[in-house]
Structure 1
Amino acid sequence: MSNDIDIRVHVACKNILGEGPLWDVEEQRLYWIDSFGNQIFRCTETGTEVESWDVPANIGSMALRRQGGAVVSLQTGFHFLDFKTGETAAIHDPEANLPGTRLNDGKVDRQGRFIAGSMDMKEEGPNGALYRLDADLSVHVLEKGIICSNGPCWSPDGATFYFTDTWSEEISAYDYDQATGTPSNKRCFASFKEIGGAPDGATVDEEGYVWSAAVYSGQIVRFSPDGSIDRVIKTPVLKVTSVMFGGPDLDVMFVTSMARPPLPRFPEDGPMAGHVFAIYGLGVRGIPEGRFQG
């Protein structure tokens, strides 16, 4: 693995809360969101041809659909988005009775299901949950008692699911039943107590190593499959939020960040906060992201 990495500003977008970088191998385009700006963005591998779509509420995550458009997790529940018209259509709001929560990070498993969790908007109480949206649009609760859902991703073979409740200061690993989409045997995969910051968005490379954005400490950490720290990369901003491999060879890491912290207790940042970054020269490739089959 090369140590000659090059971190560049990919798009100078000043997102309030940039999140969820998603590289689509079919379109060769990068998508990402501004959770508090209520927007979805798309650009090329070089950061050009930037387009955006407005959504009607705070957005936690998105995934592209096999039949076109996207599925998005909003404060008001799961919705479909039509990129051509910009219209959203409600699927289901699993927390309609919980005004203090919103849906947050989510990704598609190898079988095309959308796994997304929710969070307490004050990031204090364990009022969130983890959900699975199936192709038939049924919603299933996978776990409860979560403060802030983040970083869902899978091992290359799909048999291990990784997920974090950010304020637990650790990433959890689960056995993942790929036939049913059910995680079990939860255990601590990696602790952030010695790293600083807190685990946010994550992805897995083709070697099975987990990359996690350490929000509020300006670090990206690569963990080996046994949970030990393999590498730490310092970023130009403190509030890095999520990571994803992309580019034609899936060897560029795209990194989102936030310009403004969601709560007063979180630290301010430098002038590049909120930009999307690209890291070249990591010497490792990612895994193509799937599309929602519903």
Structure 2
Amino acid sequence: MATEIDVLLDIKTTLGEGPVWDAESQRLHWVDSADGRIFRSTAQGTELCAWEVGEPVGSIAIGADNTHFIAALQTGLYRVDMESGAKELLVDPEPDEPTNRLNDGKVDRRGRFVFGSMDTLEEKPSGKLYSYDAEGGLSSLDTGIICSNGPCFSPDGSILYFSDTWTGEIWSYDYDVDSGAVSSKRTFATVDTSTGGAADGATVDSEGCVWQALVYSGKIVRYSPEGEVDRVLEMPVLKATSLAFGGPELDILYVTSMAKPPLPRFPEDGQLRGALFAVTGLGVTGIAEPRYGK
């Protein structure tokens, strides 16, 4: 079966990000970071609905009971009710960093939400990597980050992958599934940022390979567990931002994109900018993502 890249929804998200497939409800979720919206649809892009959260949103997790989201917003980590849209502040991890906002996140195999922060101008290393557990405990896992992106876990949960977009490095850490602690940080792979591409969202497939969106270059790269380039997909837009496997068989790669770059130094794009894409025929499957607190 040949690989096909189709537009699932051409909704022109200003900054599409953070796709999450919920295997229990069979629904795809993603965000428009810049416009402060959370979206949900079926695998085919039908039954589209949205929630307005009133501020930039970096990423979300689905709550264990499927009645709320955990949302990493500009001003902190929130609980967002799916029925009413009401939001409740859980924790503000950086009250002394007014130019930071929370960004990409993913749930580990024990239901913790692992997320990072970033400098909104993408210049100073004021960001951190955090873990938030089901009891409301917040832990700092790493510091000195400019733009947190791409947290994801190996199939057994024992390795955490993560990138600081503008360092050109994708890191891996040993991850203690029981405690949520990290150790043995090392470089997993490098990205040549001089060509215009930079590491953005990421996911891991059932074979343990890491799929990374290289934003501004129009490429999706699959890395082997050893960090070697295994496959490169050329997307129909330059600003592909993040990705997640989903669908009933977990064999569809959903890819978000941005319609408008966040800063003037970043490139414009073609007519399909901001669309949500569905990539089929890859011959691999993803891993069902856990819900927060479960």
TM-score range, shorter chain: over 0.9
Deviation at 1:196, TM superposition (A): 5.1
State the partner residue of 2:125: 126
Partner SS state of residue 167, structure 1: helix
How far apart are the structure 1 equivalents of 2:225 and 2:291?
Answer: 25
Q: Residue 111 of structure 2 aligns with which residue? A: 112
- TM (norm. structure 1) is 0.98
How many Å separate the matches in 2 of 1:123 and 1:137?
29
Task: Say yes or no: does 1:95 pair with 2:94.
Answer: yes
Residue 221 of structure 1: aligned partner: 221
Give the distance between the partners of 1:11 and 1:71, measured in 2 at CA: 24
What is the CA deviation profile of residues 95-129 of structure 1, one whole-angstrom value per residue up to 9, with x for unaligned ones?
11211000000010000000000000000000100
Partner of 2:283: 283
Within the alignment, does 1:237 sit opposite 2:237 as a pair?
yes
Q: Match for 1:141: what amino acid?
A: S
What CA deviation, in whole Å up to 9, does each residue of 1:58-113 have, x standing for no partner?
Answer: 10000001123110000010000101011000001011121100000001000000
Number of the residue aligned with 1:33: 31
Structure 1 residues without counterparts, runs of 5 or longer:
none
Matched with 2:171 is: 172
**What is the CA–CA distance in structure 2 between the aligned matches of 1:185 and 1:168, rounded to whole Å?**
18
Give distance in 1, aligned partners of 2:196 and 2:75. Answer: 32
1:160-204, Cα deviation, whole Å (9 max, x unpaired) = 110000011121011001111011111000111287501100000
Q: Which residue of 1 aligns with 2:84?
A: 85
Deviations 1:191-247, CA, capped at 9 Å, x for gaps: 112875011000000000000000000000000000000000000000010010000
The amino acid of 2:236's aligned partner reads P
Alignment-derived partner of residue 210 in structure 1? 210
Alignment partner of 1:207: what SS? coil
- Match for 1:237: what amino acid? V
Which of residues 12, 15, 23 in structure 2 aligns to 1:14?
12
Q: Say what the alpha-carbon RMSD is for the aligned residues.
A: 1.0
State the 1:56 CA deviation. 2.2
How far apart, CA to CA, are the structure 1 residues paired with 2:253 and 2:47? Answer: 19
Query: What SS is found at the alignment partner of 1:226?
Result: coil
The correspondence of residues 136-175 of structure 1 with structure 2, limited to 5 A, is 136-175=135-174
* Matched residue, 1:73: 72
Runs of 4+ in structure 1 deviating by more than 2 angstroms, as ranges, are none
Q: TM-score, normalised by structure 2?
A: 0.98
In 2, the alpha carbon distance for the partners of 1:96 and 1:8 equals 42
> What is the rounded CA distance, in whole Å, between the counterparts of 1:26 and 1:163 in structure 2?
26
> For residues 264 and 159 of structure 1, what CA distance do their matches in structure 2 show?
39
Q: Report the AA paired with residue 14 of structure 2.
A: I
Q: Which residue of 2 aligns with 1:264?
A: 264
5+ residue gaps, structure 2, are: none
SS at match of 2:272: coil
Q: Give the whole-Å Cα distance in 2 for the aligned partners of 1:61 and 1:208.
A: 23
- 1:48 paired with 2:46, answer yes
**1:37 maps to amino acid:** D
Task: Give the number of aligned pairs.
Answer: 292
